[in-house]
Amino acid sequence: MITRIYEDYRRLSTNTAREMLRVVLEKPEAVLCLATGATPLGAYAEFVRQAKMQRIDFSGIRFVSLDEWVGIPPSNPGSCHYFLNRHLFQPLQIAPAQIYLFDGMSADLQGVCSRMDEHLEQLGGIDFLVVGIGLNGHIGFNEPGVAFDNKAHVVDLHPITKTTGQKYFQSETLLNQGITLGIRQLMDAKTVILMANGAKKTNIIQQALEGTVSNALPASILQSHPNCLAFLDAEAAAQLQDSSRRA
């Protein structure tokens, strides 16, 4: 894992966007899997801005879901669907045929998982993955205790995820389950960027990057990914022992 520490959120975002741009330019048929949430917002805004300015052709790029809340419709601004549409698919005018997302409203969630597994296999896996990290160390909705050989699965959300997840919703929302790609699929991604910013993430980032690799802290598995970049701002990196990694 290569760690890069940026002075602030703006630089973290710009540099993440640069990596994203590099992928879509180098591989016009790339498969992207992009986390939702607060962390990557600045990166996606910069990515869209640059992509439009450079008139990048997205017609061959494919997108797959990382995760979704179960029981939350795409029309809800707190859903991952809504986020991806608003911040990426609409501004980049991505055609529906290029997008494959989890349907968290389905009555057959196991079927949703199997179809995602099949779809991802047909695509040849993820080329480029962006993940954030939860305060409990989750990536996607791979919660503490998750099996590292899992593929797409439905998960009972961890109490911290239920609580912190409220920030995405306009009013208090019942969050019990999620649906997520599994660690095996994330570890198969050719390139991974783990992003974190802010003082709230300082402690969990230190454990994830420098602690023991364990499913008690799912993000720690990324230490053993052959091509994972940890992009951090100075606040999130504040407790890392090795601070020689400033960008």
Which residues are identified as catalytic? 67, 136, 138, 143
Residue 222 near residue 193 (C-beta atoms within 8 A) = no
User: Can you tell me which of 32, 64, 66, 146 binds ligand F6R, judged by CB under 6 A?
Assistant: 66
Whichever of 35 and 51 has its CB closer to ligand F6R, that residue is 35
Find tokens 């606040």 and name the residue.
235
Question: CB 222 → ligand F6R: shortest distance, Å?
Answer: 12
Site for ligand F6R contains 80 (CB under 6 A): yes
The total number of residues written for the chain in this structure: 247
Q: What whole-number distance in Å separates Cα of residue 195 and Cα of residue 219? A: 11
The DSSP string of 36-90 is: -SSTTHHHHHHHHHHHHHTT---TT-EEE-SEEETT--TTSTTSHHHHHIIIIIH
Whichever of 78 and 109 has its CB closer to ligand F6R, that residue is 78
User: Can you tell me which of 8, 18, 26, 38 binds ligand F6R, judged by CB under 6 A?
Assistant: 38
Q: Write out the two tokens for 84.
A: 């991806």
Question: CB 54 → ligand F6R: shortest distance, Å?
Answer: 26
- Per DSSP, the chain holds a count of helices (H) and strands (E) of 8, 10
Question: CB 53 → ligand F6R: shortest distance, Å?
Answer: 26
State how beta strands 228-233 and 2-6 pair: parallel
Residue 37 near residue 31 (C-beta atoms within 8 A) = no
Question: CB 35 → ligand F6R: shortest distance, Å?
Answer: 4
**Which are the contacts of 41, defined by CB distance < 8 A and separation ≥ 6?**
13, 87
Question: CB 151 → ligand F6R: shortest distance, Å?
Answer: 16
For the beta carbon of residue 211, count every other beta carbon within 10 angstroms. 15
Whichever of 138 and 225 has its CB closer to ligand F6R, that residue is 138
Produce one character per residue of 167-206: b if its CB has 16 or more CB atoms within 10 Å, e if not. ebbeeeeebebbbbbbbebbbbbbbbbbbbbeeebbebbb
User: Can you tell me which of 3, 13, 15, 36 binds ligand F6R, judged by CB under 6 A?
Assistant: 36
| Residue nearest ligand F6R by beta-carbon distance | 132
Would you give the binding string for ligand F6R spanning residues 115-144, x where CB under 6 A is met? ----------------xxxx---xxx----
Whichever of 80 and 228 has its CB closer to ligand F6R, that residue is 80
Size of residue set near ligand F6R by CB under 6 A: 15
Site for ligand F6R contains 67 (CB under 6 A): yes
Whichever of 42 and 127 has its CB closer to ligand F6R, that residue is 42
The DSSP 8-state label assigned to residue 28 in this structure reads T
Residues engaged in binding ligand F6R (CB under 6 A) = 35-39, 66-67, 80, 131-134, 138-140
